[in-house]
Amino acid sequence: MATCQHTIENNGQNNEGNDKQKVCALEFQPTLEPSEEGRYLWVGLKDGELYVIDAQTGKICARPNSSHTQPVTWILRYKNTEMWTIDEGGTLNVWEVLDGIRLIEERVVTARACAALIVGRDLWMATTRAYEVFHLGNLQQDQQGPRIRIPNELGDIVQLTVVPYHIGKIFIGHGDGKVSIWDAQTMERLEVITVSMYAISCMVAMGDHYLWMGFNTGMIYVYDTRPQRWLVVKLWKAHESGVSSFSVDKIGLALDVPTVQVVSVDSHGYVAFWDGLLSEQWKDQQMEKFRADYSVEQDARILICSWNIDANKPEKLPHNDDQLVREWLSGMRDPDPDIIVVGIQEIVDLESKKQTARSLFASRKKIETLQEADELLTHRYTLWHDHLVRVMADNYGRGAYTVIKTDQLVGLFSCIFVRTSELHRINAVDSTIVKTGMKVMKKSLHGNKGGIAIRFQMDDSSLCFVNCHLAAGQSHQAQRNADAEGILKEAVFPARPTDVDAYPRGGAGTLILDHEHCFLSGDLNYRINMHREKVLQYLATRNPMEGLAALQKEDQLLKQRFTNPFFKLLIFQESPINFLPTYKYDPGTDYYDRSEKKRVPAWCDRILYRSNNVQSLFYKRHEVLASDHRPISGGYIVRVKRVDQSKKAHVVHNVEQAWQQRYQRLVNEHKAMYVADFGVQDPEKRLEAVNWDVHQIRY
């Protein structure tokens, strides 16, 4: 919220003059008195003029006489002693500002830069396709390093930053979702990391090892960059439009501001403020670490069943297949499962061009909305729902299980059963859908592919089950990746801000990945990168396990664990695959596809899980012949918790005390850095002498 608003006087100039006085860059000037920090604002204008405004009065208090003749596009603060101004033509002015304003250096740097960063006494600058470094005030080095052009496989440069943990390295964010890392001395590229399929629009380092990234989707991700595979510490939907920039208050913590504020701005000009210390995230992690001290856990047995039914109707199943379907739905016994999750794909024929055209354009019966098209399919969902209920009654006894939720998307159907005796432990049941499939102008219009996510809470634990059908086609791996990432990002549930115990990963339960136990299953459509004849040879080998192992080395999903470290499904695990590929069969037979297309056999049907406490009991396929896919099932045990609130309060108190100690260390570190940036030697000793009060330090 703005506390004041001022206008730069134009002395009666016309509109053209007003345009010349358009503000292009802003930065606050350092001051000797900490109480005046944030008072004097440097403003760079389109006509090259510089103003210094007293924020308390709104008056112009100085007009530095610069050599800028083009728009001032960058104003950078060098420690607590200087201001650096750069115009569009590449003219750099360096100003001393603590004892009056004095121009001390002028030189030519990069023109039309899209990024600028001070590292030590070096100025790093970049255009969209190249970067270079300028060494200021260093007589022992060439004043300018080589101009490094980035390779064509990297997107345009959008941001430069340094992460203190990675000494001597420069991080460059790119518009194609990649981050490249470069040696600051040799200027050699060290590594390229694919963070996302979406464009990185801005990034900033926080603390010792965290990297905040804003995306054109409005999402903000926070990464821990210490592991070889960066960890996503936190992610959330920050803005409705793309995140365009970050600004960080790096000084406030040293001056008794309660936190390090990170400000994000979106493409529509909206501003949001975030806790840069991630204090709640740290406390949540500590609470999870000591969870056993305040909660009681017990096993929850889960049966996951998934099948691409190839538009089969239950009443049309041959007798033998019907018996095998019953076995598929009763694969976990002694004791029986607490939760049974059934996910069906292709409940109607999605590959039929007539079906797709009829759903979209309805040549005979006019269908004006997708909802109406879905209503035409309701009978098929009802058929399978009723059949599943009958089978459950036959398998386990009438009334043994209750349906707590169903949902559908054209082709997809999900149904979750809970043992009736455990219903009192279930609450907060919700579902959501994400459409992929047919797209026009990159917008999903027709949900012939996509995902259904159903979540609920059992005691004080949250569970989420996702039924997916990803893009088909041997060569469409990238689209499958995009579909999976889109489902994980775009599926949104109602927030549960008061149920903090159920979401120990952070968040309010709005996203799939907020949930404590998460299962993702379905026809993921990942293929084997091998010729059909070679696949069949491995399947016919005398040592079946060796043949399966050879094929799994070329399985697109498994292979990305080694070739694509930022593949979004890597946060999930999968049990060992000890069964034959489930796709593609000639329906009614044991023969892999003998049609003209002769599709390559593959493990299209999968069950993945994400949980800190899960035991896999089995993972297998079932020999139902009716479809071109074989059904699969998996049995799992997860630990669900019931929280003792009185014991939890004690742990909360201890964690809060630990945070206060950590917080004080961070405050002292920021105070020492603040004082050191005035050129003070041994800042810790100076601060200890005045009880860490920066207001008493004299420079």
User: Is residue 514 a contact partner of residue 507, using CB atoms and an 8 Å limit?
Assistant: yes
Quick check: 266 pLDDT over 90?
yes
User: Is residue 107 a contact partner of residue 134, using CB atoms and an 8 Å limit?
Assistant: yes
Q: For residue range 428-482, what is the model confidence (pLDDT) as tens digits? A: 999 999 998 655 444 444 557 999 999 999 999 999 999 999 999 999 999 999 9
Determine what percent of the chain is predicted with pLDDT higher than 90.
Answer: 81
pLDDT, position 30: 96
pLDDT, position 542: 87
What does the chain come to in residues?
A: 699
Region 1-16: what's the mean pLDDT? 48
Q: For residue range 330-374, what is the model confidence (pLDDT) as tens digits? A: 999 989 999 999 999 999 876 553 444 444 444 344 444 445 555
Quick check: 11 pLDDT over 70?
no
For β-strands 632-643 and 614-621, DSSP reports them as: antiparallel
pLDDT, position 196: 84
N- to C-terminal Cα separation, the chain: 34
State the average pLDDT for the chain. 90
Among 142, 50, 37, 141, which Cα is nearest to 93's? 50
| Burial grade of 103 (CB within 10 A; 0-12, 13-18, 19 or more) | middle
For helices 544-552 and 532-539, what crossing angle results, to 10°? 150
pLDDT, position 150: 97
Residue 9's pLDDT band (cuts 50, 70, 90)? low
pLDDT, position 356: 45
Q: How far is CA 250 from CA 77, 80, 206, 673, in A?
A: 11, 12, 9, 10
Residue 49's pLDDT band (cuts 50, 70, 90)? very high
Quick check: 573 pLDDT over 90?
yes
Concatenating the DSSP letter of every residue in 339-376 gives EEEEEEE-SS-TT-HHHHHHHHH-SSS---SHHHHHHH
The pTM of the full predicted model, rounded to 2 decimals, is 0.73
- CA 173, 179, 180, 182 dihedral sign is positive
Q: Reduced to 3 states, what is the DSSP secondary structure of residue 457?
A: strand
Of the given ranges (82-86, 280-284, 373-377), which has the lowest mean pLDDT? 373-377
Region 225-247: what's the mean pLDDT? 92
Region 394-400: what's the mean pLDDT? 96
How many whole angstroms separate alpha carbon 207 and alpha carbon 144? 29
Q: For residue range 622-635, what is the model confidence (pLDDT) as tens digits? A: 999 999 999 999 99
